[in-house]
Amino acid sequence: MAKSEIKKDIFWVGAVDWNVRNFHGHTYSTSRGTTYNSYLILDEKIALVDTVYGPFAQEMIRRIKEVIDPAKIDYIVVNHVETDHSGALPEILKLCPKARLMGTAKCREGLEKHYYGKWDFQTVKTGDKLNLGKKTLSFIEAPMVHWPDSMFTYCPQEKLLLPNDAFGQHYATAERFDDEVDNAVLMEEATKYYANILWPLGSIILGKIGEVQKMNIPIDMIAPSHGIIWRRDPAEIINAYLSWAKNQTVPKAVIVYETMWGATAKMAERIAQGISDSNIQVKLFDIVVSDRTEIIKEMLNAKGFVIGSSTHDNDMLPTIAAFLEFLKGSKPRERLACAFGSYGWAGGATKEIEGIMKEAGIELAQAGIGVKYTPSEEELNLCYEFGKEFAGKILQEKLSA
């Protein structure tokens, strides 16, 4: 069996993007690169499931040519319109112009608006099947996991689920399977991916996993469109998704702050000490020097958010303001928060932070703490107590859960 053959007569023909460091514009820092996974299924009829990002079209075509002449492709299943999976369509279709595209109605609409191509397209819905000979592909619409056009493809004969973006990770490797890589790194990347892309869609994801579970379809391999393929125990990543989608948290606080001259940083460190001395896990980030993608990952399972900023023009500083807008879009639920920061003549940052937390639906656990200019030792002790008080709220929540 060739290394690229993931199941009998099913080949990985994707591309590895070792050097990409920013994804989705600059919304996601991909410190370990990514892959664009495309799968070629050989049978009496030949199907390609998803393609790759446009600049990698020739890499995908080269891999297809190692297996078959691309002219033999009968169908291209398009699980998702986003350009990292459909970008190579115009190039591959030059080599297999008679191939029929298959996808949801929203996929058709999206492809037309992206590429303006006159392509043979068959719209499919949940329950529709494509008979390839010995193998069948069945389709499961998955709108908003994570675009309106999203779809899963399932091959019952191989117990193989091809869910496109769901269960993916931005992780460039020469290996293809979960049992070939470090599991801690793999789960870290899967967590980062969920937190930064799928977090706001938790209720939709819960519903979709429930729907698939009710179908009672056996799954022994999940091959997403980014990163590593799950075959060791696919239930592990499904259960992780269920936990994240249910907003399950651990007793942990994440402190994120921006400081002008260091006073707010001093407050942050003393608050962290108060939380840590209460036996609550704490992570601390200066937003200006930290990776936002990493912070959001840390927040995914944290019960408490502690947000700080110096006051500038009666408001918070601009980098933390942008971060909070991003966090608000993640729609965190069932979290506790509090605010802190130093100020000169008039405060304002803590009030603005609290306003955004409320807008985001995050419960304010206690009144914010402000310090004029540089904190004295006495004021730093108050910060320490502020941290202990917040830790107590997190513990209380845990006991009542």
Could you list the active site residues?
24, 80, 82, 84, 146, 165, 193, 226
In angstroms, what is the minimal distance from the CB of 68 to ligand FEO? 25
Tokens 């992206």, residue? 114
**Among 389, 300, 309, which Cα is nearest to 355's?**
309
> Which residues in 157-191 are b (16+ Cβ under 10 Å) and which e?
ebebbbbbbbbbbbbbbeebbbeebeeeebebbbb
Is residue 62 classed as helix, strand or coil in its secondary structure?
Answer: helix
> Which stretch in 64-72, 82-90, 116-124, 290-298 sits in contact with ligand FEO by CB under 6 A?
82-90
Interacting residue with ligand FEO among 32, 63, 80, 231 (CB under 6 A): 80
Interacting residue with ligand FEO among 17, 43, 50, 84 (CB under 6 A): 84
Interacting residue with ligand FEO among 50, 158, 165, 397 (CB under 6 A): 165
> Which residues in 94-113 are b (16+ Cβ under 10 Å) and which e?
eebeebbbbbbebbbebbee
In angstroms, what is the minimal distance from the CB of 384 to ligand FEO? 44
Q: Residue 51, interface with ligand FEO (CB under 6 A)?
A: no
Q: Residue 108, interface with ligand FEO (CB under 6 A)?
A: no
- Phi/psi region, residue 144 (left: phi>0; alpha: psi -120 to 50; beta: rest), is left
How many angstroms separate the CA atoms of 77 and 105, rounded? 13
Interacting residue with ligand FEO among 17, 43, 50, 82 (CB under 6 A): 82
164, 225 Cβ separation under 8 angstroms: yes
Nearer to ligand FEO, 3 or 24 (CB): 24
Give the residue at shortest CB distance from ligand FEO.
82
- Stretch 206-265 residues interacting with ligand FEO (CB under 6 A): 225-226
In angstroms, what is the minimal distance from the CB of 59 to ligand FEO? 16
The H or E element containing residue 318 is helix 318-329
Is residue 114 classed as helix, strand or coil in its secondary structure?
Answer: helix
Nearer to ligand FEO, 84 or 258 (CB): 84
- Stretch 131-150 residues interacting with ligand FEO (CB under 6 A): 146-147
Nearer to ligand FEO, 227 or 341 (CB): 227
169, 226 Cβ separation under 8 angstroms: yes
Instruction: Provide the binding-site residues for ligand FEO, judged by CB under 6 A.
Output: 80, 82, 84-85, 146-147, 165, 225-226
